[in-house]
Structure 1
Amino acid sequence: MQSAPLEAVRPSSLRAPALPAIAVLLLLCWLAFFNGLGDLGLTDKTEALFVEVAREMLERNDWVTPWWNGERFFDYPVWGYWMVVGSFRLFGISEWAARLPSALAASAVVVGGFALMLAWASPQEPARQRWGRGLLAAGVLATSPGWIGWGRVATTDMFLSSAITLALFSFLLAHHRREQPLPARLGRIGFALFSAIAVLAKGPVGLLLPGLVIVVFLSLTRQWRHWWKPGALLAMALLFAGVCLPWYVAATQANGSVFVDGFLGFSNIQRFTNVLYRHPGPPWFYLPWVLLLLLPWSLFLPPALAALRFWRWSRWRRAAEDPALELPLFLLLWLVLIVAFFSAAATKLPGYILPALPAASVLVALWWRPLTSPVPGPTAPGERPLAIWGSIDAVLLALLAVAAAIAPRWAATDPAHPGFADALTASGLPLRLAVLLGASSIALLLLLRRSAGRRWLWVPNLAGFLAILALVIAPLAPLLDRERQLPIRQLARTARQAALAEEPLWVIGTMRYSVLFYSGETAAFISGRESLLHRLRNDPKDLGLTDASRSVRLMGDRHDLEDLRLPADRVQRLRRIGEQELWRVRREDLGS
């Protein structure tokens, strides 16, 4: 269906709520992604590994080959590392600078979802209705635990997810505004550009996933004719290749088969066909994760999907004539195909389905505030679904409030951080969280009592989670850092200062990759005594030992170090912070 020309939208109707909407968007993104961004030390192990690669690339001034722990590292392509290296150059090396690109990427998708709602809305709709729907879509995503969590850490997941999302948003713009040259051209450019960035962020999956969604969508809705334009497709292909291929060519030239085998063979094909890094999972592995990563909004996803009646073939045939139906059906395919794709893979991690969250968020927002349809289509949610799912939401928040109140008891079971539970209790944060969750639950129950209030059930969720971001998450980060991350940083820096000539550093037990970043040197990671003895016998050079090495530094949890069963009278204890210790041991005593 041809969309109404942009000129039909009165400029005054767009400008009226613009400033308040922009202020709300800025507040959403600041609370969700930027507030206290650098207050927590690098988390082990994925974030610390990712950031260390960027630090070593910066140190070597090598923009082609990723390095980690002194070795070439091809688990991921280079886009995310480039972003962190660029941030380090602009702002210096810090946790805040490392996470800034992820926060910006997460914010770009929140703003993109808002813009998509404006672009797709009928120009005959009142401006407040259009802007309100856009802000609701942005708010749902910005207050989803999964998007917040990955938007505040430096890993490749957010770079891939944001690029895929912006590529699909761009396709939707080009598709919906295909009769208008400028928006259509911008959409095609955006799709090619962001798909190329996704390939630079993670590999071929960055093009495969958005391509799969689009191919299935165009096939089911019989709209291939709109996109079969050889000139436009060729221009998109050239832009895509021009953005992503130069690095792949340069990496192959610089590293040869090491890059081809390590990246394409191991990190892509084997990750899909084999279980890597001990991360298996059943076919339904991601279903509970969709629920958790999108709470509490995921509770409204089942009725949102049911309202589409997607199982009726007539709905897909009519989609081309009804933009109010076409968009949610596209989002449904986006959500289902991404979850299904990663469910078929052998290696499973929660972050893999992050690209599905924007689709689910917009679907929920459209259930609350459907698009205006020229023909009978999706309508506002009925009283019964609102009452049922709103009641479930209220009960869940009440249960979470109880769980928050007793959280310090669970924290007390961690032997590696025995003082954390007392510090958490003294902070008052668990009680504060319980009060906010309880207040949201009570607000939901009050709204459920009146039919007119049920269409506003989203308000307590949004307001409650924004309050949690401001009043709980922000002050929790420094507490977590002081009790759990600071000892690792301090010991790593002590290890660097205490280093003797040709003295390697070994991290025992938990793989704390942040030690590399904070010590600024390489280290060997050893799981326990059996691993140590095996590696000493077979490849001592892999442990950093040279002929001139007279001693080693050992760092780890006190219990892990004691499990090595080294002669106690031969151990020099350099420093202890809480349960973390730093030892020096003579080389001849290692095999005792």
Structure 2
Amino acid sequence: MQWWNRLRKHPKFHVYFSVLLLLTLCTVAFLWNLGSTGLVDETEPLFAEAARQMVVTGDWITPYFNGETRFDKPPLVYWLMAVGYQIFGTNEWAVRLPSALGAIALTLGCFWTLLYFGGSPSPEKEPKPRFWLTAWIGSALVTLNPQTLIWARTGVSDMLLSGCMGCALLCFFWGYASSVEGTGNREQGIAPRPRAADKAQGNARQDGNREKKKPGNIKLLPNKGYFAFYILTAFAVLAKGPVGIVIPGLTIFIFLLCVGRFWQVVREMGIFVGGAVFLVLTVPWYVLVILRNGQTYIDSFFGYHNFERFTGVVNGHGAPWFFYFGVVLVGCLPWSVYLPLAIARSMRFYKIVRLRFWKRSRLRKQPRSEQLGLFALCWFFSIFGFFTIAVTKLPSYTLPLIPAAAILVALYWSQIFTAIPKRPQRLIARQGAAVRPRAAERRATPRRRQGARERASSKRPAQAFEETSNDADLGTRTKTEGRGQKGQTDADREWDIHQDSGKKVAKEWGFLATGIFNALLLLVLAIVAFYSPNLIGYDPAAPNLGELFRQTGLHLRGGIIWGMVSGAIALLLLQPQIRRWILLANLLGFFAFIIFALMPASEFIDRERQLPLRELAATITQVQQPGEEIFMTGFKKPSLVFYTQRPVNFIGDKNSAIARLQQEPTNAPTLLLLAQPTTFANTFDLQPNQYENLGQRGAYQLIRLDKQILLNSPEQ
């Protein structure tokens, strides 16, 4: 770490480098070419058009799509899109900006939290290198994974929910760790050692203040962290409904049970004021939409889209109970392979498997600022377990657990990736109490005691204590093999313990086996990339998509990138001294994959699959006559409604078209029909001389048809 010691002479470099890193990550992953591709059918246009209808009609209470109410989701995502339309215009950038902002907020929140709580108390005032590195690693992990990348660039409510929920939980931990009744320092997030009197009383400690608070006292006002938690949880409820409070509440409940501070934290959270703020932000819209739509909204939103999704299969989205194991592995690649190691290591330290809820004195004594790893464990397992129990299963449901997974892996890797500098000579006594001398030393005369200490120090190694689990655990007391030296502080001993812990962990068999699996998995991914054109199934909207993709050569780029990363990891595994750079190789490989393969591939798919529909939508807006209706058959593409900004009748066959015309006849003698060219002859029994061809793009053809020809034709 000589390079770090040189950089520490310039403290502002930390800030400048962090800002540059975060700007680069967020710009490339979330903002670069955000609006360069069209809306992707089938879900994204539903949100975009509902928001546009709010701007057009001025009705900001009831969402509508294509003339019908849309009760799938609450209004927050629609409101943000509508505001974006008024600022940036009605375009794809405004549609996807709320999702991008949610992902950016998660990245910043994880970075800031890990910066202050991602390490242990240190004998110096400023954060140690591990704090900064842990924060950099954590922010990179939150950003560089397929799930975050895809949903942050998609205009739906999933990423907004994850951003609000994730930031709410991070704010809760800030409030928990920096509470005046907690153990944390407000500025550094560093906890001093508990005083014996505080242990005996069982009360929380205050920084530099011995005053005790009565257990029954309830705080009226929450601190800043708790207050932000209430606001962001309200936003989560407005983003996707009751799940926005159920998941954070479940996570916090499990965490507080584990640490044995449930009622203490409830008293200090200012729950009455915070609850009032939460209700003021969430209840008004739900009351207004129920008053306007009545039982229809209650049955649709609360009944169908919430209760039935949990208890039954909705829209055919069923899957086996182990579905999310594969989703997390694939959705968090390439770093998800180290998640089991990180979980196991944290569980071993916090003794989750053997934890007895009636014997939690160890966790109660532990400073709050050192419990980020335990909080991330509760966060991860509460979401994973909740949606595993739910009957309806979708890949996007695991999106809110990605910040917790990233924190766990960052805490694990910070120990491997960081070489801790030698123990400082100057000790700060307030970081911990001195170790008591052995009984023989206490009975000896001062001269004999000094000689015994010198002989003991020459025979006994300084690092006489066993290793703890990860960076978040460095500040806890560990079991000793020897008593240490007289006058040595707890923080000083811990500093000795972990000087070479990163190298030790890198040599463990579990880490080595996971690294080998990492290299093999990326090799398989490279092979899949090479053969990806053959794996693309038939798509009626782009029948030749696989062959056209082969001609671009993008599959070769992706295969080469992952093959090179796999080879680099294999080489790193051969040298134990440099194995710590495996994670960096994974992240750089994924970063290169985004720039050179994934972004060009998304533009290619948009050009072949979505662009023809947008071009015909532009044609419709130019040729449509007054009162002329638009029909689409063979496809159900909601993006046609958004790009034409007109109602579209989605029909299944000729009979449904006739029924629609007979139900609500219009004065216009013709209609516009969009379908595949073969549909007109096979489904509608039309000859080329019976309709006017207005344009053909890709798999779509637009015609103008006389209504009487359709109405007079025999039904099938």
Query: Do residues 122 (structure 1) and 120 (structure 2) align?
Result: yes
> Which residue of structure 2 lines up, in the alignment, with residue 293 of structure 1?
331
Query: Do residues 340 (structure 1) and 385 (structure 2) align?
Result: yes
> Which residue of structure 2 lines up, in the alignment, with residue 247 of structure 1?
285
Equivalent residue letter for 2:305: S
1:394-423 deviation digits (Å, cap 9, x = unpaired): 111112112212223334854542454454
- Higher deviation after alignment, 473-482 or 40-49: 473-482
SS of match in other structure, 1:17 = helix
Return the structure number with greater helix share.
1
> Which residue of structure 1 lines up, in the alignment, with residue 202 of structure 2?
none
Q: Is the 8 A contact 1:504 1:523 kept in 2?
A: yes
Q: Is the 8 A contact 1:14 1:127 kept in 2?
A: no
1:78-100 deviation digits (Å, cap 9, x = unpaired): 00011111111111111112111
Q: Shift of residue 45 of structure 1?
A: 0.8
CA distance in 2, matches of 1:509, 1:335: 42
> Which residue of structure 2 lines up, in the alignment, with residue 312 of structure 1?
354
Query: Do residues 89 (structure 1) and 134 (structure 2) align?
Result: no
> Which residue of structure 2 lines up, in the alignment, with residue 7 of structure 1?
none
CA distance in 1, matches of 2:129, 2:370: 21
CA distance in 2, matches of 1:213, 1:566: 60
Whichever of the two has the greater Rg, that structure is 2
> Which residue of structure 2 lines up, in the alignment, with residue 470 of structure 1?
595
> Which residue of structure 2 lines up, in the alignment, with residue 148 of structure 1?
149
Sort the Cα spacing of 1:449 and 1:201 in 2 relative to 1 into closer, same or farther, 3 A.
Answer: same
CA distance in 2, matches of 1:228, 1:158: 29
Q: Shift of residue 571 of structure 1?
A: 3.6
Sort the Cα spacing of 1:295 and 1:231 in 2 relative to 1 into closer, same or farther, 3 A.
Answer: closer
The aligned runs of 1:54-453 (5 Å cut-off) are: 54-120=51-117, 121-124=119-122, 126-179=127-180, 185-229=223-267, 232-307=270-345, 308-309=347-348, 310-313=352-355, 317=360, 318-322=362-366, 326-369=371-414, 370-371=471-472, 372-376=474-478, 381-383=505-507, 384-411=509-536, 413-414=538-539, 416-453=541-578
> Which residue of structure 1 lines up, in the alignment, with residue 687 of structure 2?
568
> Which residue of structure 1 lines up, in the alignment, with residue 706 of structure 2?
586
Count of residue pairs brought into register by the alignment:
576
Q: Shift of residue 444 of structure 1?
A: 0.5
Structure 2 residue runs of 5 or longer lacking an equivalent are 1-7, 188-221, 415-470, 480-497
CA distance in 1, matches of 2:341, 2:656: 56
Equivalent residue letter for 2:120: S
The aligned runs of 1:504-515 (5 Å cut-off) are: 504-515=629-640
1:211-263 deviation digits (Å, cap 9, x = unpaired): 01111111222111331327811111011112112222222233333333332
Q: Is the 8 A contact 2:334 2:587 kept in 1?
A: no
> Which residue of structure 2 lines up, in the alignment, with residue 557 of structure 1?
676
SS of match in other structure, 2:626 = coil
Equivalent residue letter for 1:313: L
- Higher deviation after alignment, 167-176 or 262-271: 262-271
Q: Shift of residue 385 of structure 1?
A: 1.8
Sort the Cα spacing of 1:534 and 1:353 in 2 relative to 1 into closer, same or farther, 3 A.
Answer: same
Sort the Cα spacing of 1:231 and 1:123 in 2 relative to 1 into closer, same or farther, 3 A.
Answer: closer
- Higher deviation after alignment, 20-29 or 282-291: 282-291
CA distance in 1, matches of 2:109, 2:146: 19
Structure 1 residue runs of 5 or longer lacking an equivalent are 1-10
CA distance in 1, matches of 2:412, 2:516: 17
> Which residue of structure 2 lines up, in the alignment, with residue 533 of structure 1?
655
CA distance in 1, matches of 2:233, 2:94: 25
Q: Shift of residue 554 of structure 1?
A: 2.0
Equivalent residue letter for 1:20: F
Q: Shift of residue 275 of structure 1?
A: 2.3
1:186-230 deviation digits (Å, cap 9, x = unpaired): 111111001000010011111111001111111222111331327
SS of match in other structure, 1:229 = helix
Equivalent residue letter for 1:321: K
CA distance in 2, matches of 1:561, 1:406: 36
- Higher deviation after alignment, 372-381 or 138-147: 372-381
Identity among equivalent pairs (%): 34
Q: Is the 8 A contact 1:36 1:477 kept in 2?
A: no
Q: Is the 8 A contact 1:146 1:354 kept in 2?
A: yes
TM-score, reference length from structure 1: 0.91
CA distance in 2, matches of 1:457, 1:402: 20
> Which residue of structure 1 lines up, in the alignment, with residue 34 of structure 2?
37
- Higher deviation after alignment, 140-149 or 348-357: 348-357
SS of match in other structure, 2:695 = strand
TM-score, reference length from structure 2: 0.76
CA distance in 2, matches of 1:459, 1:169: 25
Q: Shift of residue 525 of structure 1?
A: 1.9
